[in-house]
Each structure stands twice: as structure tokens, then as C-alpha cells.
Amino acid sequence: MALDLLLSEYQLGSLTLKNRVVMAPMTRSRALKNIPNEMMAEYYRQRASAGLIIAEGTPPSPHGSGYPRIPGIYNEEQVTGWKTVTNAVHERNGHIFLQIMHTGRVGHLLNLPDGAHLVAPSAIPVNGKIFTSKGMIEMSTPKELTTGEVTDVIEDFVKGAENAMEANFDGIELHGANGYIIEQFLNPNTNHRNDQYGGNLKNRSRFVLEIAEKVSKAIGKDKVGIRFSPYGTNNDMPAYSDDEVEKTYAYLSEKLNEIGIAYIHISRPVDKTIQNIRSNFDNTIIQCGGLTASKAEKLLQDGTVDLTAFGRPYLANPDLVERFKSDAVLNEPDPATFYSPGEKGYIDYPMLEEV
């Protein structure tokens, strides 16, 4: 199949993307002491032929740092480190957003900086283990946020977005997927609150909508996107009724359209959900999850979505766009190196010209 749309330019707000290939955000655990480094800059530089890179999930506060060796965006050292990354991408005429991810109840105290606490909408632990300095351990039980502390977390997202602008990112993506804090507020099985942030659908949605509105006012709505994973069960997210899921994301897309954010990024959507979102949201829609170049082209040709994101293929193929153009064979990623420290399986995959 010819990839006419996939390889064509696209206007995302004020940015002209050179193609419709998006590098999806993926945690790689290479940030020692939660600070981005030169190795990370090289990793993203290698992948700058993507129309848009969405950098890995990055906590806006120490309390949201549930995994080991993930970069943050809450202090000056981290901002300086991220500038090295954004400069590397921009030097290759690429565009890069930062995904702001607060892990909420997902994590262990051993992975948090000194003095930080695992926090969530309700004190409901994840049923599962997580890697720590002492090996795989059952996740810690989170502290339930007070109403005032919820406001503090919202402000952490705003400050994180402002710091991302200081670090020269082109925009930010709010991580509302994969069972992290935003989705924990949305899901009635992980949100048992009885204040204005819990209970009915509108109250459970209040947290993310307040974040989206305040971040949009702080950095500009054309620089804000969000990622959702309706029906996702990552990180022990309990399923709830299909009817409630559809109502939730229809409502969110309608309200986010009113705020005017740049895009909604949907991970592995079902047809009904993406149709509901498309009917309520006027701006860009990105789809991610198990796509090939030909599947992406078909989605674009059908008008289902505007941009298509690739995760796993980008792990081992820094020149993915060039491989799509020439219909070249893709490198296979090495799962043993997905989260390990060091260059192996990170910046050493061969480019086409090296094969």
C-alpha cells in the first residue's frame, strides 16, 4: 500500500509536522537520579525523523515517581537535562512533546525520592509487584489525598508544564491512560472519594478537566494533548460497565473540546469509543496500539484519525520513517533491555545505512 497520507505533512496547532508518524511515549528507565542525560538526548535525536516525538512519562513531582530511573520535570537539574534532549531533536528539525505522568498508586516507596509519598485518589493498592533496588516487591499502599492535596497535585501538573516550556519542549501530553493517577480518578473502582472529585461521572472527571484547563491557560491550549486508554486494564485497573466507560469518554471529549486542547491520543481504542470521541472533539486525534504502516495509512485514509503513533517499532528502529519509505525490514527489539540501564538495546540499534 502506498503511504501517501502517513508520509505527508500535517498541521498540529502552530507546528508543521513533516509526516503523520508519531513516536509514542515509552518508559526506558535511563535517567539516573531522575535527571535526563546525554544518552537520552542521543536516543531521541536518532528518532527525530518522526513527525512528532512524545517523550516518555515524566512525573511533575517527587510523589509521582513510582518507577526507578524515570526522569522528572520538577527541578532545575531536570529542566537543564531535558534541554539537552530538546536541543538534539530540534537540531534535526524534529518536534517533541513531553508526556507528564503522575504514577499515583502505581509504585513503591523505595522508588520515590527521600521525603516523597505514594498518593492516590483512594487508599487502594495495586495488586502486583514492581521492580525496586531490592528486586520485585509488592506495590506500596498509597495515601489517600485530601481535597487540598488534590489541588496541590493539579498545581504540580501546571508547574510541570511550565517547566517543560522552559526546557524548550513544543508542548506537553497529559498521561490519562495506563492506570496512572488521572485514570485512577476516572475509574469508579479506584476512586471511592466523597468530595467534589469522586462519586458521579462529572465529579470523577473534575480532576483531569481542571488540570487540562489550568495547563492550557498556563502554556497555551495549542501546546496541550492528552492520552487515554478506555477499557484498559494496565496496572490492575478494574473494569467497569461499558455504558459508563462510553459516557465517561464522550463527556471528557466534549469538555476537552470546549477547553480547546490540541489533541486526544487514544491507546488501542474500540470502534464505538473512537467514534464517540471523534463526534465530540474537533481537533487532532491520534491512535496508537499494534499499528503497521499499512494499518496506519488505512486509518488515515478512512478519516478515523489524523495522526498514528508507534511504540514498540520505535524501540529498535530509530529510523522508522525511513524504513517505512523504503519498505525495509524492521529490527526486532530486545525485551531484556527495555528498562535496563546503559546503551545496550537503547542507542545501539543499527540504522538502514549500517545494515
Residues annotated as catalytic (active site), given as ranges: 180
Cβ proximity of 255 and 277 under 8 Å: no
Cβ proximity of 57 and 102 under 8 Å: no
Q: Which amino acid is at 70?
A: I
Cell of 181: 493517577
Map residue 251 onto helix, strand or coil. Answer: helix
Map residue 47 onto helix, strand or coil. Answer: coil
Q: Which amino acid is at 105?
A: R
Question: Which residues face 144 on adjacent strands?
Answer: 120
Q: Which amino acid is at 99?
A: Q
b/e string for 75-108 if b means 16 or more Cβ within 10 A?
eeebbebbbbbbebbbeeebbbbbbbbbbbbbbb
- Stated as kind and residue range, the H or E segment containing 38 is helix 38-46
Strands (E), 25-142: 52-58, 96-100, 119-120, 129-132, 135-138
